[in-house]
Structure 1
Amino acid sequence: MAWRDSKASGSRLLLFMASIILGIAAVVSIQSFSENLEENIAIQSKTLMGADFVIDSNQPPNERVLAIIDSLGGANGRSVGFPSMAVFPKSGDAKLVGVRGIEGGYPFYGELETKPEAAAQTYQEAGGALVDATLMLQYGVQTGDSIKLGNTVFPIMGTLISAPGTSGIGASVAPPVIIPYDAVEGTGLIQVGSRIGYDYYFVAEPEQDLVALDEKVDPQLDVENADLDTHISTAEQLGRSYDNFGKFLNLIAFIALLLGCVGVASSVHIYIKEKLRSVAVLKCIGATRRQTFLIYLIQIAGMGLLGGILGVLGGLLLQQSFPLLLEGFLPFEVQISIVPNALWSGLILGVLLSVLFALMPLLNTWFVSPLQVLRVEENGYQKSRKAQLWVVLGIVLFIFSFSFWLLGSIRYALYFVLGILVVFALLGGVATLFMRAIKKYFPTSWGFTSRQSLLNLYRPNNQTTVLILAIGVGTFLISTLYFTKDILLAQVSLEASEDTPNLILMDVQTNEKLAAANSIEAAGLDVLNNIPIITMRMHQIKDRPVRELILDSTATQNRWVLFHEFRVTYRDSLVASERTVEGTWPLERKGNGIIPISMSDNVAADAQVTVGDTLVFNVQGVLMEAQVAHLREVDWARMQINFSILFPSGVLEEAPQFHVLTTKAPDAVKSAALQRDLVRQFPTVSIIDLRQILIVIEDILNKIAWVINFMAFFSILTGIIVLIGSVRTSKYQRIKENVLLRTLGAKSKQILRITALEYLYLGLLGGGIGIVLSLLGSLLLARFVFEVSFVPSTVPFLVVLPSIMALVLLIGLLNSKSVLQSPPLEVLRKEGG
């Protein structure tokens, strides 16, 4: 019976499943690609690191670290890396780069990809440099030209296309330049305050257990402010980073799938409503409740399975495009393969979601009476509230279970389900309120076509609420994306005030600070800050030495505090990004007593200290006892120099230190000229142009936005299919209404205008509500999460909303074409039949 009945309604049921197909295609493609990504990271982990394991430190290794390196058979290769200014003598241009001096045969896995290829082997012997390809293109430099790093000029041996460990945001801000290890000292770039990383690379024996090695050696290195990373642990960390982004995309795809399910529920509701008389007839001739219910349940489950199969096939095709979509984020090429688990989950999702969301309208077949054959009124049956409650509970539990499976956290799954329920409830509630408002405050003064188009929104089988849900959620996703991107950019944007620096001079030595300040002023600019910086580590927290805390597995302090090299300054006032939380500042040191200091509240919480607690710092070999006298909140999001620890004046002036100078260049031309002049005078000074960093951040956010927009498009596309399904499902109802309107004297133009206005209302309602909800949500995010002022983007209002309205209007009119052109006799014949 299910098969026979479905043959007559197959095209309609297939349309119901189209939205399911889209959602499943999105979920399967993302899950498959995420699995491929994880497999590729595991396979290529050695290539990404260039070795089996590495020992790294941000200070020259002490005797204990060197002894550990020797006990492991000695390093197979080593490197030293730091940021510095590079000058191209050919043009005089200067740029911040990431210098990396390499010794030995590193990388031992993968390769230095260069052009010409031989440069990767010859640059060390020739004492030359390999320069990032993008950097060479940007500054018009070619192989054979030269590059100046500090006091040394290197011939450029080749273009560096790729190398292990040279990808990511850091490489965008400071492009890599590779030179021989022995040439680093001659540059004069390693000075007090230089941010240097020392890496020692190892090739493991075939039988060596790297996990056991990590567990044994890493704690020993931690005590010496060094670290051991294996290619396994690095791959796991990288995998987690991409996994989080994959989960986010999965949730967007799942929302698209849920939208499709809402459309299925609405379409099945109308479909079953038309079948109720047939069900009543079946019951009159002896069919049981269970039999009539199963006939249509089998139909829906079969179409869900078919939708799952088609969705899986679509997902496999879509999966092929993800390497192109995520090209800017991946440091390696991903090999695409079929993931059986993702295919099975797609099939199961197709059947389960179709059945779950169709159960509510399917309950009508259970409770319809055989007497319905004789009745002509609508809803001549009563559904069980208990059965409805169980269905709703099943849907919510399934959504929670699936989101928990994706996120791996009960709390996040609850937040996601709550968020979905709130957005759907708000959209549905607003749609319902709007319908009631139209009935109560109907605009009787409007013209006939305008009034009739409003009436169409609450005709029988109108599906207005479902369409507003589908359109609204898609618009909500895209608008929230734009608003959130504005919030993130606002956090890192440069303020337009005169005292906000955009050029920062790092590593200025004490004997250079006066000359550097004079050079800035000679260029007609002001020195906004001249900040002394001293490096130190925590030696003791309260009454416990840090070495003891590192070895104590039960210690509750955040471990980064124990290993971190703090860069602190001294001053007697707070700046605009700081606010007092507890205590008073400034404080003066009384005689030779304990030194009062100020700590940022987040670092104090991680170190588990508060006002009155004592700390001992190791200031480059000298122990200094201090007491926390002041806690402050620091706005770390501001693009300015902030400090976690402040000392009062009169304490650290004689300590080894370097300085940071800041200024504000009015434009890029002035900035470039000043940088060239400063680097020529002070080759060891590094200059950070905050505007370039902002451009990099904005570019990254735009790439992420493009990927999320691509996924949000599935939600919009789902809404379109629900819209098509709605028009198709209520087609006969619309034809009947148009025939009656023609009988009353309405012209074709009037009917066309009524239909056009109806879809404009739907697009305006769905899109408008979605944008308003995303605006409110983004305002709450900006106020309570990011704590920044929020100026919303105009894109959702000027581009997204008109586009959604035009799309809804176009789809509605195209699908209503046959309705508008149907002759009156068609309806009369059907009624006669």
Structure 2
Amino acid sequence: MWVKLALKLFMRELKRGELTIISAAIALAVLTVFTLSAVTDRIRLNIEQKSTEFIAADRRLDSNHAIDSAFLNEAQQRGLQTAELTYFDTMLFANDDMLLVSVKAATESYPLRGKVIIKNTLDGDTFEVSSGPKKGEVWLSESIFYSMKLQVGDEVEIGAGRFVVSHVLVREPDGALFSFTGNRRIIINQNDIAATKVIQPGSRVFYRFLFAGDETTLSDYYSWIKPQLKDNQTWEGIKDRQSPLGDNLTRSSQFLLIAGLLGIILAAVAMAVSAKRYCERQYDPVAMMKTLGGSRSTIRKMYLLHLSLICFFSISLGLLIGFGLQTLGADYLAQSMGTTLPNAGWKPWFMAIFIGAVCAVMFALKPLLDLFDIPPLRVLRRNLGDTLAIGRMHMAMSALTVFGLMWLFSGNLKVSVILYGASALVVAVLFGISRLIFGGGRRLGLSPANSWSLALATIQKRANANAVQLISFALAIKLMLLLVVLKNDMIADWQAQVPQNAPNAFLINIAKDEVAPISAYFEQHGIEASEFYPVIRGRVQALNNEKYARDVSLQEGEKKDEEAKQGVGRELNLTWAQEMPATNDLVEGEWFNNDGSAQVSVEQGMAEGLKIKLGDELTLLINNQEVSARVTSFRKVDWGSMQPNFFMILNPEALAHFPATYFTASHVSSEQNKVFNQLLMQYPTISVVDIQDRLLQAQSIINQVSLAIGFVLAIVVLCGTLVLISQVQASLAERMQEIVILRTLGARGSLIKQATLYEFLLLGLIAGLVAAIVSDVTLLIIQQQVFELPGKLHPKIWLFGPLSGGVFVALVGYSMVAKTMRQNTQGLLRALS
């Protein structure tokens, strides 16, 4: 019996539009979470897939000694793709010439991710291949052709093996971004190593295994291999690399995560407002049913059935719309990126359904319970039940629900606490402000016929409702401001790391007498270049005459000093300079003085690692000579600036008497390639590290991330707009009553319109001001604690926040009530009835 009545009432309210608000709010929550989750998940997967090209695999295993082949066998049995690489330096012989080159021996399955770029001839077009050279072939980098006057098809010798030069090697996906060994790279087949007879006991060889597959299999494989790894073997992915790219990928993932969290907050606000309004509109029907003999139990079952039907319908609608939105958005992004976005996993579906259901239950349950307590006498006294208070327990449970959903969605407690705390601060501040301002609305002494006076009086009359509206507006504005500014700061930081005119070629092994003519050649042809830096190899030997530990061969009677300080463990590239490089920042101490003593400036991170203090005496071993220098300063070095950087810089008095080679960084445009290659032909002993393709690859990924973030930001702005619409729509009935009363008392239509516009404008200004201040403080915390960026304040948004908030809320709010104000009094009374 009650089911039939409930369904009949449900269909009646559905036709009248009574369920529109709460249904739209649940659908909004679901489509917001689903769209953001699906789009960010697909973007994240695409970014990670693109970024794995930098290591030519999903994971790699590095070792300074031969790796057990059982590792490869196990990976293959688990369904992972594998490739094997071997690196070593040797001499290349051709045309009675010889040249020291860096050899990469690769199996034909290399690369697992990305493509190798090659050419058939020096002047030919580049093209991509997805496998390494065949047995008996060798690919040479372009500089080797110039240095040894080779052509494709010539024969070269590597050790005891003879090979045919089959292609020009342009770029490897996992090529070193920069190395002082130069750009003389060659690739041979892994099976040709034995024929060269180059690798002998004691040879310096580097080994690498590549792996590709799904994340679950890779994680399981790592769990199996981890206990077997030696201390000098490293397992890593692209995010594990200590590089600007790895940092940027982590930051982009965190930004997309924050966007999703903000979407959850917006959805929760919309749901809470709509659920309360829906239940308030059911007070009269419930009172009527009670007077007609309806029991509390029957009414409870009817409305719980209504809630269940609404949830099912709204969640289904939200998933449908969300799927369409994320498909359209992903297709647009894929076309803009020139790629195909992978499909999202199951998480967006689960999160959207779960969050939609939880929001509906948690935010509708208390208003429904209040609804069941409506007294039958309300049919005679319409104000009974209007003052039902929101319980503290319900508020606490709702607050904990929002935080729990954020934590569940993100899996990151720190980010959830920061964003939740900032939103709670907005609520607390605005609640106090609203009570202070709205309570004093009638004491401003404005004229009764003034539209500002009417606006303030209306705000003061609906103090509690306007406080809720103000909080909702401020939360939406705060979240949008936060994402806009954070997006701009992140992209500006990324673009600063890889600027458009960044050096894309490094010239090394320049003789001292070649510096002047090369510099003149650059100036003559308009090629931008940095300063020429002298380079000497040296090892940190001792600190304050206390020697660092060194590796020795463990022959009979020879042991390692385990009690000695742990040093760098390798030789460093040292330089000397009279002035500090412009890209370095002095963080402590003073730059070199001219007292004639040997002095050294140390990079901040190395100083911390070696526990060096200002004034310490550092001893360096250069060739077979020891050089002692006093530490005068510590520098902060931006290793992602693409500029020449050093861990240690000494003054000329310390190192100028040592023979050294020089190197510089230059920016060579495509129009200058020809004259640049002519320079290389004039100076064949110079090695060039060409990183132009690597920079283009990095800039491409940054552009893709920026585009993706912009799309996600647009979704959040749209969700914020929908929250404002739902909040204004919840007050339409009350506004209709006010308009009827004002018209009855003789108020002009223009006065009512202006007062309504001013009301929304004032609410938007206040909400925007508080939102701007809290957003800036939140940004400062997020940049420092989450993104590990130097935090800074943004005073511009203190002005932009109130202005944009006022305009935004005024336009959205006024447009929502404009139709109501255009209706005549008779039409409004009919709608209210």
Number of equivalenced pairs: 737
Mapped partners of 2:152, 2:794: distance in 1: 49
Deviation of 1:265 after TM superposition, in Å, equals 1.9
Which residue of 1 is the match for residue 354 of structure 2?
348
Which residue of 1 is the match for residue 738 of structure 2?
737
CA offsets per residue over residues 410-447 of structure 1, 9 Å max, x none?
333322322332344445555555534644436439x6
Q: CA separation of 1:210/1:772 partners in 2, compared to 1, >3 Å: closer, same or farther? A: closer
Mapped partners of 1:322, 1:247: distance in 2: 20
Q: 1:396 aligns with which of 376, 390, 399?
A: 399
**Structure 1 residue identity aligned to 2:13:** S
Mapped partners of 2:565, 2:768: distance in 1: 46
> Superposed, which structure 2 residues align to 1:454-533 within 5 Å?
454-460=456-462, 463-485=465-487, 487-488=489-490, 506-507=507-508, 509-511=510-512, 512-519=514-521, 529-533=531-535
Mapped partners of 1:557, 1:457: distance in 2: 75
Which residue of 2 is the match for residue 711 of structure 1?
712
Pairing 1:419–2:441 present: no
> Superposed, which structure 2 residues align to 1:127-138 within 5 Å?
131=126
Mapped partners of 1:443, 1:219: distance in 2: 81
Which residue of 1 is the match for residue 574 of structure 2?
568
CA offsets per residue over residues 723-777 of structure 1, 9 Å max, x none?
4334443333223322333333344455444444444445555456545554565
Structure 2: where are the runs of 5+ without partners?
74-81, 90-100, 129-140, 154-165, 190-203, 553-561
Is the partner of 1:579 in helix, strand or coil?
A: strand
Which residue of 1 is the match for residue 230 of structure 2?
219
Mapped partners of 1:524, 1:301: distance in 2: 72
Deviation of 1:259 after TM superposition, in Å, equals 1.7
Is the partner of 1:219 in helix, strand or coil?
A: coil
Pairing 1:272–2:279 present: yes
Name the stretch that deviates more: 423-432 or 70-79: 70-79
Identity of aligned residues (%): 18
Q: CA separation of 1:221/1:255 partners in 2, compared to 1, >3 Å: closer, same or farther? A: closer
Mapped partners of 1:44, 1:637: distance in 2: 22
CA offsets per residue over residues 442-464 of structure 1, 9 Å max, x none?
6439x634443444445549854
Contact kept? 1:79, 1:103, Cα under 8 Å: yes
Q: CA separation of 1:793/1:568 partners in 2, compared to 1, >3 Å: closer, same or farther? A: farther
Pairing 1:658–2:661 present: yes
Which residue of 1 is the match for residue 549 of structure 2?
545
> Superposed, which structure 2 residues align to 1:69-108 within 5 Å?
106-108=108-110
Q: CA separation of 1:599/1:294 partners in 2, compared to 1, >3 Å: closer, same or farther? A: farther
Q: CA separation of 1:582/1:18 partners in 2, compared to 1, >3 Å: closer, same or farther? A: same
Which residue of 2 is the match for residue 312 of structure 1?
319
**Structure 1 residue identity aligned to 2:126:** V
> Superposed, which structure 2 residues align to 1:168-187 within 5 Å?
none
Deviation of 1:655 after TM superposition, in Å, equals 5.2
Pairing 1:601–2:604 present: yes
Mapped partners of 2:47, 2:691: distance in 1: 33
**Structure 1 residue identity aligned to 2:482:** T
CA RMSD of aligned residues (A): 6.1
CA offsets per residue over residues 167-212 of structure 1, 9 Å max, x none?
9xx69xxxx9997569xxxxxxxxxxxxx997756799xx999648
Is the partner of 2:602 in helix, strand or coil?
A: strand
Deviation of 1:315 after TM superposition, in Å, equals 3.4
**Structure 1 residue identity aligned to 2:536:** I
Contact kept? 2:60, 2:210, Cα under 8 Å: yes
Q: CA separation of 1:478/1:179 partners in 2, compared to 1, >3 Å: closer, same or farther? A: farther
Contact kept? 1:610, 1:628, Cα under 8 Å: no
Contact kept? 1:582, 1:630, Cα under 8 Å: yes
**Structure 2 residue identity aligned to 1:600:** E
Q: CA separation of 1:53/1:414 partners in 2, compared to 1, >3 Å: closer, same or farther? A: closer
Mapped partners of 2:594, 2:62: distance in 1: 39
Is the partner of 1:272 in helix, strand or coil?
A: helix
Is the partner of 2:343 in helix, strand or coil?
A: coil
Mapped partners of 1:557, 1:362: distance in 2: 73
CA offsets per residue over residues 514-560 of structure 1, 9 Å max, x none?
33344456679999744323345567897663659xxxxxx99999x
Which residue of 2 is the match for residue 824 of structure 1?
825
Is the partner of 1:569 in helix, strand or coil?
A: strand
Mapped partners of 1:659, 1:525: distance in 2: 18
Contact kept? 2:602, 2:649, Cα under 8 Å: yes
Mapped partners of 2:337, 2:207: distance in 1: 23
Q: 2:267 aligns with which of 260, 264, 268?
A: 260
Pairing 1:14–2:20 present: yes
Contact kept? 1:312, 1:346, Cα under 8 Å: yes
Deviation of 1:601 after TM superposition, in Å, equals 3.2
**Structure 2 residue identity aligned to 1:311:** G
Contact kept? 1:489, 1:698, Cα under 8 Å: no
Q: CA separation of 1:255/1:54 partners in 2, compared to 1, >3 Å: closer, same or farther? A: closer
Deviation of 1:513 after TM superposition, in Å, equals 2.2
Contact kept? 2:56, 2:111, Cα under 8 Å: yes
Contact kept? 1:48, 1:164, Cα under 8 Å: yes
Which residue of 2 is the match for residue 96 of structure 1?
none
**Structure 2 residue identity aligned to 1:725:** S
Is the partner of 1:336 in helix, strand or coil?
A: coil
Contact kept? 2:615, 2:631, Cα under 8 Å: yes
Q: CA separation of 1:811/1:229 partners in 2, compared to 1, >3 Å: closer, same or farther? A: closer
Mapped partners of 2:211, 2:412: distance in 1: 37
TM-score under structure 1 length normalisation = 0.68
Deviation of 1:468 after TM superposition, in Å, equals 4.2
Is the partner of 2:282 in helix, strand or coil?
A: helix
Mapped partners of 1:741, 1:130: distance in 2: 78
**Structure 1 residue identity aligned to 2:638:** W
Deviation of 1:342 after TM superposition, in Å, equals 3.5
**Structure 2 residue identity aligned to 1:346:** A
**Structure 1 residue identity aligned to 2:258:** L
Is the partner of 1:567 in helix, strand or coil?
A: strand
Contact kept? 2:473, 2:767, Cα under 8 Å: yes
Q: CA separation of 1:754/1:604 partners in 2, compared to 1, >3 Å: closer, same or farther? A: same
Deviation of 1:349 after TM superposition, in Å, equals 1.0
Mapped partners of 1:789, 1:44: distance in 2: 31
Contact kept? 1:612, 1:627, Cα under 8 Å: no
CA offsets per residue over residues 596-619 of structure 1, 9 Å max, x none?
754333333344554687877665
Structure 1: where are the runs of 5+ without partners?
58-63, 82-98, 134-145, 183-195, 549-554
Contact kept? 2:58, 2:113, Cα under 8 Å: no
Mapped partners of 2:701, 2:83: distance in 1: 36
Is the partner of 2:19 in helix, strand or coil?
A: helix
Mapped partners of 1:745, 1:250: distance in 2: 53
Which residue of 1 is the match for residue 198 of structure 2?
none
CA offsets per residue over residues 465-503 of structure 1, 9 Å max, x none?
4544444444434433443455457668889xxxx9989
Is the partner of 1:12 in helix, strand or coil?
A: coil
Is the partner of 1:534 in helix, strand or coil?
A: strand
Contact kept? 2:47, 2:705, Cα under 8 Å: no
Deviation of 1:697 after TM superposition, in Å, equals 7.9
Which residue of 1 is the match for residue 588 of structure 2?
581
Contact kept? 2:542, 2:548, Cα under 8 Å: yes
Is the partner of 1:568 in helix, strand or coil?
A: strand
Mapped partners of 1:524, 1:231: distance in 2: 37
Is the partner of 2:18 in helix, strand or coil?
A: helix
CA offsets per residue over residues 365-421 of structure 1, 9 Å max, x none?
46655655554557665647xxx3322332333333333334434333322322332
Which residue of 2 is the match for residue 364 of structure 1?
370
Contact kept? 1:53, 1:228, Cα under 8 Å: yes
Mapped partners of 1:343, 1:672: distance in 2: 51
